[in-house]
Amino acid sequence: MNKPARVAVTGAAGQISYSLLFRIASGQLLGKDQPVILSLLEVNVEAALRALDGVVMELADCAFPLLVGVEKHTDAQACFDAVDYAFLVGARPRKAGMERKDLLEANAQIFSVQGKALDAAASRSVKVVVVGNPANTNCMIAQRNAPSLAPECFSAMTRLDHNRAAAQLAARAGAEVKDIANIIIWGNHSSTQFPDLAHATVSGRPALDLIDSDWYEVEMIPAVQQRGAAIISARGSSSAASAASAAIDHMHDWIFGTAADRYVSMAVVSQGEYEIEKGLVYSYPCTCQDGKYQVVERLKTSDFARTKMKETEDELKQERDGVASLLP
């Protein structure tokens, strides 16, 4: 039996974690031969800690053979001690009357603390995925506060948008989703994101040969950008199971590699690829191999695409400027 992997999950008593933890503990993240210790973080508030107790009781009640330990923490550094993987799910949600700037700052506080804690305590090869919104900027703050960890340890999740775009394309093209490849989500996990089908294929054929550009530009792009709101409207609460599933996909592919000739969307620290400002956490097409991601470079981009890529970059710059005081 392998040595147990330590997996941290923050916001552990929340709805996304409730869909995520049981899939990790059942072996869907790391496979059937890898024991897991879950290290869970919650805020030190009575209601959250009671709910966390309930989740931990239910994890025990599943009798998962691979789950060899569950820890409850309210201190980030204790939670991140020697962790191999970290899902940063918890974030301050927007409350009625809250300005966007206040939301950014409240989260910047959380993620600067968590970045410092990862820096101090996590495995030197930790893989971090930020799910809590605003995910890209939260990730940037955590990464900048963790100078002793490689920037390549950090990522933010745009895989949910990626999967949503794949599902929309499959439905439109009358194909199965497994036959869709090379969707790209560029930029921010927000309504400015750019879901790009220019390189996508359906059973190997260019997607844009199979669908009309009107549907793509006028219907699909906004549908993917606004999908979160559509889910809230139907369910009465925000996407949880699909967000958790995307987080599993993101981390699983990062660890075990992407399929040959396929890329996935991951928001990572920009090195200036595609003329995006260095240091922003920007979603790019990526391939993964041997536990490392690589941005797919030199794809041809149209004027239409470059305009969209710039719009979402501009939003990320604004977010960064809004939290400048917390960036070392």
SS3 content of the chain, % helix, strand, coil (to 5): 45, 20, 35
Closer of 150 and 177 to a copy of itself (Cβ): 177
**Minimum Å distance from CB 235 to a copy of itself?**
3
Q: How far is CA 66 from CA 47, 103, 182, 257, in A?
A: 29, 38, 33, 22
Backbone angles phi, psi at 184, to 5 degrees: -130, 135
Nearer to a copy of itself, 19 or 123 (CB): 19
Q: Compute the least distance from the CB of residue 44 to a copy of itself, in Å.
A: 17
Select which of 189, 199, 250, 252 is catalytic: 189
Which residue is it, tokens 């805020």?
Answer: 43
Q: Where are the beta strands (DSSP E) in the chain?
A: 5-10, 36-41, 67-73, 85-88, 127-130, 154-156, 180-181, 184-186, 194-196, 201-202, 205-206, 264-269, 281-289, 292-295
The minimum distance between CB 35 and a copy of itself, in angstroms, equals 9
Q: Which two tokens stand for residue 225?
A: 């950008």
The values of phi and psi at residue 238, to 5°, are: -80, 165
Question: Among residues 57 and 218, whose Cβ is nearest to a copy of itself?
Answer: 57
Q: Give 114-153 as a DSSP string.
A: HHHHHHHHS-TT-EEEE-SSSHHHHHHHHHHT-TTS-GGG
Nearest residue (CB) to a copy of itself, 20 versus 139: 20
CB of 231 to a copy of itself, least distance (A): 6
Q: Which is nearer to a copy of itself, 249 or 313 (CB)?
A: 249
Q: Cα dist. 325→76, 117, 321, 322, 328 in Å?
A: 21, 19, 8, 8, 8
Site residues, a copy of itself (CB under 8 A)? 18-19, 21-23, 26, 28, 50-51, 53-55, 57-68, 160, 163-164, 166-167, 170-171, 176-178, 180, 227, 230-231, 234-236, 239-242, 244-246
Instruction: Show Cβ contacts of residue 68 under 8 Å, excluding neighbours closer than 6 positions.
Output: 4, 35, 36, 37
**How many helices (H) does the chain have, and how many strands (E)?**
11, 14
- For residue 276, the minimal CB distance to a copy of itself (Å) is 26
- Cβ–Cβ contacts within 10 Å for residue 230, how many? 12
- CB contact at 8 A, 263 and 296: yes
Closest contact distance (angstroms) between CB of 122 and a copy of itself is: 25
Active site residue 162: no
Nearer to a copy of itself, 241 or 296 (CB): 241
Residues annotated catalytic, as ranges: 189
